[in-house]
Structure 1
Amino acid sequence: MNVNYIHLAIPVFFLLIGIELLAARFLERDVYRLNDAINDLSCGILDQVVEVFLKTVLFAGYLVLFERWRLFSIPSTSAWAWAVCFLGVDALYYWFHRWSHEANAGWAAHVVHHQSEEMNLAVALRQGAFQAAFSWVFYLPLALLGFPPLMFLAVSSF
């Protein structure tokens, strides 16, 4: 079973947004605008819905590469393998995110995240729905190195 930690964190995230709203009200600061918050939430929902379908299809590429062309067989029972996989996913996400800022196609999928005029927790929900169409390519080296697909899925859920 693939546990989506993002889905598990949603109630906590909304609780933190509520705390942020209360703190802003107490400090008499205006950090939320209704239209911005609606856009943030809409983008977050759209991102999660699209990713369910997109990542399912694109994961097949990881699986095929792992099954046919992996260079090593990394055991999923090794704590070191999990740690290295976690660091690998994080490092490759960094390169994907950097590419998203520098390449036109990446920026087109990512720019929505930077369009809010406010800085608050809800802005984190504002993600480009089609970023996964590009990001999966950056993780393929992990398949070539032999990190098992279920390990990759579990680690990339964070």
Structure 2
Amino acid sequence: MKGFLAGFVCAFRGIVDSVRRGRNLRVELVMAVYALLLSAVTLTSPAQWGAVLAVIGLVLAAEIFNTALEALCDKVEKGRCDQIRFVKDAAAGAVLVCAIAAAAIGCILFFGYGGGRLLSFCRAHIWYPILLAVLAPPGLWFICRKPRD
């Protein structure tokens, strides 16, 4: 049982280290929070929730893999190397593909199918768009801050 729990500790440490190292992961975490806030207002079915949660998980996992791969590449090769450049670019491209798919799904669900619900909710609950705006500065701070080692 100790080995099993130790695996979770290592995995959590890897996530925390990735958040510290990767500004892009912090951007994606902030976007995930906004996606969940929009989901609470616009989504009406378990399938829609499943799609949003799946693409959030996919983007975050892809970015964590990318962050780990970049760290390994930087350790292996300090200078310029075409193979390392390809590996880093391909990994970043994979994250971009995931992010574009997530953005497309979000646009369809939040503004296509759920756009009317979102607008009606915002009109009836003025605090909601204010909340979204108030969360922007802490989100930007989280993204732009210099992580402590």
Structure 2 length-normalised TM: 0.31
Larger RCO, structures 1/2 (Cα 8 Å, 6+ apart): 1
Structure 1 length-normalised TM: 0.30
